[in-house]
């Protein structure tokens, strides 16, 4: 049996996946889904006009809020159903590793937003640069944590 199949098939055995890995999956999927919904709604409203003129604030707030609520609710449900123990040192190290990866994209997004503000870009582009940075941070931080659980934590 190939190693790739074992990695993917492990998703179907949720009782052997740690709570922290389940949380990484929840956060990553929620980030992808909420950003996809946001893009579909905003691009659907464009209707031939410039994107900077599309009303986006309400949609952005609702998709971010829904993502946060979904992540919290799903994490609570997984914690109630999950039978794994408390966090150990490996979980803390993997969590820190994922956070380091994710935070780098927050910094990149902040720099991009700063540059857009200095260039006096419309608020739409600044807000979307920040939202994209937060989304990439959540996705890539989650992917880093999942890979660390699946492939082993890199030794420094």
Q: Average model confidence (pLDDT) for the chain?
A: 85
Kindly state the tokens that stand for 141: 């931080």
Over 70: is that where the pLDDT of 6 sits? no
* Per-residue pLDDT band at 19 (split at 50, 70, 90): confident
Over 80: is that where the pLDDT of 154 sits? no
Over 50: is that where the pLDDT of 9 sits? no
Say how far apart CA 132 and CA 105 lie, in whole Å: 9
When pLDDT is averaged across residues 7-26 and rounded to a whole number, the result is: 68
Over 60: is that where the pLDDT of 7 sits? no
144 to each of 94, 126, 136, 141, 153, how far by Cα in Å? 8, 27, 12, 5, 10
When pLDDT is averaged across residues 127-151 and rounded to a whole number, the result is: 92
* Per-residue pLDDT band at 12 (split at 50, 70, 90): very low
| Residues 60-105: tens digit of each pLDDT | 999 999 999 999 999 889 888 877 666 777 778 888 888 888 898 9
- Residue 156 has a pLDDT of 58
DSSP 3-state percent helix, strand, coil across the chain (nearest 5)? 80, 0, 20
- Residue 153 has a pLDDT of 65
- Residue 49 has a pLDDT of 87
User: What's the residue count for the chain?
Assistant: 156
Sign of the dihedral defined by the CA atoms of residues 86, 134, 26, 74, in that order: positive
Say how far apart CA 42 and CA 56 lie, in whole Å: 6
């Amino acid at each position: 049996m190939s190693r790739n199949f074992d990695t993917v098939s492990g998703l179907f055995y949720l009782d052997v996946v740690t709570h922290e890995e389940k949380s990484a999956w929840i956060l990553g999927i929620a980030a992808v889904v909420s950003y996809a919904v946001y893009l579909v709604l905003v691009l659907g409203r464009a209707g031939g006009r410039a994107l900077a003129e599309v009303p986006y604030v309400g949609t952005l707030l609702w998709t971010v809020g829904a993502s946060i609520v979904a992540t919290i609710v799903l994490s609570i449900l997984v914690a109630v159903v999950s039978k794994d123990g408390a966090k150990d040192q490996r979980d803390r190290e993997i969590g820190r590793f994922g956070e380091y990866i994710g935070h780098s994209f927050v910094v990149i997004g902040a720099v991009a937003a700063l540059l857009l503000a200095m260039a006096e870009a419309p608020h739409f582009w600044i807000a979307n640069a920040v939202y994209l940075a937060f989304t990439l941070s959540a996705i890539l931080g989650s992917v880093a944590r999942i890979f660390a659980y699946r492939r082993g934590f890199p030794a420094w």
